[in-house]
Amino acid sequence: MSSKQWRNIFITFLIQFFIFKPLLWISRVVVSYTTRNQQKRTERRYLSILDSTEDHQTWSSTALSLDLLRGFKKWHCTIPTSSYCNPAALIYETNVAIELARIGNVRAIGEFLRTMLHRRVNGVASPLLFRYYTGTKDFVENYNIAIHDLIEVFSGRREEMTPLGSSTSTANSDTKSEFVEDLLLWAKNTAGTQEAQMTPREKQELLCDTAHSFGVTALMLSGGASLGMYHIGVVRALFEAGLLPRIISGSSAGSIIAAVICTRTDADLSTMLVGNGLSLGEIHLNAFEVNDSPEESIGKKFDRLLASGAFMDVETLMLCLQRNCGDLTFLEAYRMTGRILNVSVANNRPGDHIDKHMLLNYITASNVVIWSAVAASCAMPGLFTAVQLLEKNGSEIVPYLPGQLWFDGSVARDLPREELSTTFNVNYFLVSQTNPHVIPFLRKPPSPIVHKKRSGIFKRCWFAVCSEARHWLLKSYRVGLLPKSGGAEVPYLMATQCYSGDITILPIGSVWSAIPDFINLTSNPSEEHMAYVISNAQRRTWPHINQIRWITCVERALLREYEHLSFAV
């Protein structure tokens, strides 16, 4: 090659390396930057809609668009390798369910359900499986759908399984169960024989055993004075989604909402929970003042405080509750609605803190009048005087445990987890937390939702200080520096409680946004305030609906088919 050709090649190389290559790199950077900015703007627009809409259908469609923008489709089909769940075992059990349904051996299906169904089997309830608002992993959805359909095949309501996605691939030998393989072999050998059949009574008994082993979900509504009205939005969101648990517990203000819900049938709730939720025409919420009477002066309230030790009139509270619930007892409400109401109360006897708490329901206090139990649960020391419980004796209403007075159940046990587990086999807890003395110190549960903002340095330092202070407070009680009775009893009871659940809903949001609510803790809510409260609480409940729906899918199928078989027995 001549020197001229070499010179042309060199010039071409310089032009390409110093001009074209930088221009190409700059164009790629500009395109990447504009794409990211466009995505961020779209995300902000979607988030703005999620934070402002009052329509669940609009919220759901916007959440789906946001999830797709954030990569849900790829994540949905990816099988994780982490230890928080066992995808291979879930896929294997999904395939077994499909095979058993194809074989049609009812007794083998029953044995599979009774033996293999558990609430947290192979990590199927792990929060990390619900990183998006509108779905979960493909193999988790397939597992729940397959088990749901298998239960319906077992009861006779369904003949064929729903076609599933692509994650039902053949499992490797390490995930296979010897019991299940033997069960499949027996199912094939006995299919079509009399041995493979079961009577409706046998099916119902087996579903009862399976449901007992699987466990039950309960909704627990915390205390919170007038902040308890936020519970209405939580209840409404769950009821509209068909996910409101049968077992509902309430403490203090939460017991008012729990009592209102558990003393009304589904038809009544459908009528009541419309528009902006409970209206003052449907339900009476004037627990602090009688709306049609002149407001009491501060001087009169302080006179009452000095005379009786209570700032507010407990008779007004009782009248409000009686107008809401009538004279229904716990047992009557259960028979009327099928819902199980639980109300936390505490006795005012001095002594061991262990005997303070009692959970009232149709088993422990079947004839106790609901409005008296709720009044006792709301009787916060200093705000209302302690209350005598009442019960029905025939047509008469008489004192229950005469001479024993009861007060705010939130003080001793805001969320009665142990009692619900023991009495009703509850092993999954939905909590709506509105307690004003808890929210500032309650660290929000770590959210698995992608692109969730991390807490700032101030919040992390604040919760670290709170955790350390609680540690030293409890240590002071353990070594005897502080007594567990008397004036130091209430701090001990509050410090030893757990104020969260498997899913904790914080309908109030941030403390700063709720400052006006904190100021009006002992005021009756207005129509406008109720609309605002319910709207906010619903929006903070909707992000949890997807997780609740999938985690309770099998439980709801078991209960529904048990009731379906009860008509055939």
Task: Indicate which residues carry an active-site annotation.
Answer: 252, 408
Q: How far is CA 378 from CA 5, 127, 279, 374, in A?
A: 96, 34, 21, 6
Instruction: For residue 307, count CB atoms less than 10 angstroms from its CB and return exposed for 0-12, middle for 13-18, buried for 19 or more.
Output: exposed
In 3D, which of 158, 63, 60, 59 has the Cα closest to residue 102? 158
**Cβ atoms 392, 367 nearer than 8 A:** yes
**Cβ atoms 377, 332 nearer than 8 A:** no
Within 8 A by CB and 6+ apart from 464, the residues are none
Question: What is the residue type of 27?
Answer: S
How many other β-carbons are positioned within 10 Å of the β-carbon of residue 336?
Answer: 14
Instruction: For residue 372, count CB atoms less than 10 angstroms from its CB and return exposed for 0-12, middle for 13-18, buried for 19 or more.
Output: buried
**Cβ atoms 119, 125 nearer than 8 A:** yes
In 3D, which of 97, 108, 96 has the Cα closest to residue 197? 108
Rounded CA separation 556/207 (Å) = 12
How many other β-carbons are positioned within 10 Å of the β-carbon of residue 133?
Answer: 23
Helix, strand or coil, per DSSP, at residue 442: coil
How many other β-carbons are positioned within 10 Å of the β-carbon of residue 245?
Answer: 22
- Kindly state the tokens that stand for 10: 């060199």
Rounded CA separation 90/520 (Å) = 50
Rounded CA separation 367/393 (Å) = 8
Residue reference for tokens 């106790």: 368
Phi, psi of 383 (to 5 degrees): -100, -50
Rounded CA separation 283/400 (Å) = 27
Helix, strand or coil, per DSSP, at residue 277: coil
Residue 508 pairs in a beta bridge with: none
